Amino acid sequence: MATRKSVRAPIPAGKRLPAAGAPRAAGPRPVLTRAVLLGAAAGNGRCGLAAVRPSYLWPIANEPAGVHLVRALHALGIGEVIVCGGEAGDGPQARRMRLEAEALGMVLRWAVETAPTGTGGALRALGSPGPDEHVLVACGHIRPSWVSPALRDLHFASGADATVLVSRAAGRPVDTLDLDAEGRVTGARLGDGSPDDWTSEGLWLLGPAALRRIPATGFYSIREQMIPELVDQGRTVHAVRSRHVADDAGRARRYRRQNEQVLRLMLTEEPGYRRIAPRVWAADDVRLGRDAVLAGPVLIGAGCTVGDGARLVGPVAIGEGCTIGPGASVSRCVLWDGVTVGRGASATDAVLTDGAALPPQGRVDGAVVVAGRGGRLNHLGGATAGVLVAEGRRLHPLSRPSLRRRAADGARRAADVAVAATVLLATAPLLLLAAAAIVLDSRGPIFFRQNRCGRGGRVFGMLKLRTMVADAERRRPDLQKANEVDGPMFKMARDPRVTRVGAVLRRTCIDELPQMINILCGHMSLVGPRPLAPHEMALGAAWRDIRLSVRPGATGLWQVRSRLTPTFAEWIALDSLYVARRSLLLDLRILLETPAAVVRRVFGRQRPAAPPAVVTGGTAGSLDSQVESSCSIRSTDTTAANA
């Protein structure tokens, strides 16, 4: 639970902090009647759970988390909730949220993101907030108990422009907020994972000054952009400290424990369930085998089958259409819909998501099980489909990569080594000339080495020929206002830090030739997503783990198919599309198109409006038709009157 003591601001002489719940003595009365609920698109999330459903649809005691949050928001006086995510609110779990809002007389509206907009960019769905309006913004994974009247009253009483719920970082670099003794936010930086680092938990109360900062287009993050900007401008930002630790493996663990707490508090029959044993509730059509052992609290959804001799030791929540095989054991687990636990299998302290299957005699302990293809776990805490995750470690994939996939990866690596070595030998004279020109043109080293995130989130030093003055990084903060791209990256068409020789090297892409060394070392591949710096990857956005599942590339879709000045959303869309359709044939097409892309860059021309179709994996179609989604938001209105 959040504590109140840490957020009290210093009170000037002769002034008193208003009592909780009382309006401020002067100025217009603040208004808080709307909330925004955030959830990543299913399949793009940071932890294994979000690979299946947006976080506001994670089941808690067989009800979507959004239902519990809607109730908490109603108790706060919220009348309208805007749900932002990757689905249109027409699934069965979303319909449950609609029905709950209708029963409470609330307006529920879905805003579907067609491209990455960030937590701040999603707030464009609010339209034009009122001059005195405050808005509550919550990620779907937060506990409903954190949405409390006490938090609202403290936000109003302190007069803060923004109030943020924070928790301690979990021993890894994240975007960190510096707090003073009174709980005020005094700065923002990339932390080193020390115990004193605090990071946003995903719950914000934003005032008019904060809401006015949201740009009309592009990617915009509350945590990485809005809050630091408010602090830099001297605005008041307060933090409420949570006792939890912010780590993605811990997020799944906390979700399971939240289910346990709700189940332990269940004392009466829930709608749609009947009590079949002490603290055991089941839907009417549940089929129980002989000698099955059920030790509550246990909740079993509709259409489930529990085999002979199976053991369910609570707290256990089982969704709809699940099958527990004969002799299987399930203890302290959450099972989503359509889960199968095979004969004699054992699941303990685990979360099994939609359609997951534990094979006969299989065993899972303290893990997240996601159905689907084999996947990978990276050190940032994310998992893709088919991976068991326990305490941030990879245990084993449910299905290993196919022989065809392993052969393709081997062929890709062999081609990387052969081509990179050939390019280095062929361009050695050119590199020597470029090195001499760099030395004669400006002071500083010949090569520039910058940390970038590789496959699995591993950091490596990416090599380039130096194209800027030696103190370029120190001068960057002074140029931040002239940034010409949205999102977390920085780019200027006429960057004053670029040297005369550097401008030529950049325009011709000669400065990137040393990346062939990174390819030989295994840090990069010839083709892949654009390599980003750690502080750019620190964004808790849905696309991060998709990009980190493969090696970054010296070239890629982002280079051959984007405009000369692509938006952040285009970068992410192209990278995500490449990972989804990755094949040797696609890599070959990209390599063949790269020289033309370099020529277009040299002469400043846009790419052709209708490039040829790309065929990958037996599927034909123009890639451009799949990546022309803008940063706009498509809204679906659902009110209590017409739900």
C-alpha dihedral (306, 308, 310, 311), degrees to nearest 10:
100
- Of these ranges, 322-336, 349-363, 405-419, 459-473, the one predicted with the greatest mean pLDDT is 322-336
Predicted pLDDT at 277 = 87
Q: What is the pLDDT of residue 624?
A: 40
In this prediction, residue 564 carries a pLDDT of 56
CATH 3.90.550.10 residue ranges in the chain? 32-246
Angle at 320 between CA 316 and CA 326, to 5 degrees: 65
Bridge partner residues of 318 (DSSP): 300, 335
pLDDT at position 514, please?
Answer: 94
Query: How far from the centroid of its chain's Cα atoms is residue 452's Cα?
Result: 19
Q: How confident is the model at residue 534 (pLDDT cuts 50, 70, 90)?
A: confident
| DSSP structure string for 571-634 | HHHHHHHHHHT--HHHHHHHHHHHHHHHHHHHHTPPPPSSPPPEEETTEEE-THHHH---S-EE
Higher pLDDT, 618 or 429: 429
- 123-152 confidence digits (pLDDT tens): 998 988 888 899 999 988 888 888 888 888
Nearest to 382 by CA among 495, 237, 238, 549: 549
User: Does residue 564 or residue 593 have the better pLDDT?
Assistant: 593
18 token code pair: 């208003």
* Nearest one of 322, 356, 362 to 342, comparing CA atoms: 362
pLDDT for 169 equals 64
Q: Is 577 helix (H, G, I), strand (E, B) or coil?
A: helix
Higher pLDDT, 165 or 383: 165
- Band of pLDDT at residue 268, cut at 50, 70 and 90: low
Which token pair is 338?
Answer: 């359509």
Indicate whether 46 pLDDT > 60: no
In the chain, which segments carry CATH 2.160.10.10?
A: 254-396
- In terms of residues, how long is the chain? 643
Measured CA to CA in angstroms, residue 326 lies from 24, 292, 309 at distances of: 63, 9, 6
Q: Which is higher by pLDDT, 327 or 376?
A: 327
Find out whether 84 and 57 touch, Cβ atoms under 8 Å: no
Query: Which segment of 317-331, 428-442, 629-643 scores lowest on mean pLDDT?
Result: 629-643
Question: Helix, strand, or coil here: 100?
Answer: helix
pLDDT range class, residue 608, cuts 50, 70, 90: very low
% pLDDT > 70, the chain: 71
Distance of alpha carbon 49 from alpha carbon 47, whole angstroms: 6
Strands (E), 104-254: 107-113, 133-139, 162-169, 175-179, 185-190, 198-206, 237-246
Instruction: Quote the pTM value.
Output: 0.62
Q: Choose the CATH number for 254-396 among 2.160.10.10, 3.40.50.300, 2.40.110.10, 1.20.120.50.
A: 2.160.10.10
Q: Residue 424: its pLDDT value, please?
A: 94
Give 42's pLDDT tier (boundaries 50, 70, 90).
Answer: very low
pLDDT exceeds cutoff 50 at 366: yes
Token code pair at residue 399: 């299905």
More confident residue, 44 or 316: 316
32-246: which CATH topology? Spore Coat Polysaccharide Biosynthesis Protein SpsA; Chain A (3.90.550)
Match 């008193």 to its residue by tokens.
16
Q: What's at 218, amino acid-wise?
A: G
Give how far Cα 524 sits from Cα of 49, 504, 545, 626, Å. 29, 24, 16, 26
CB 530 within 8 A of CB 166: no
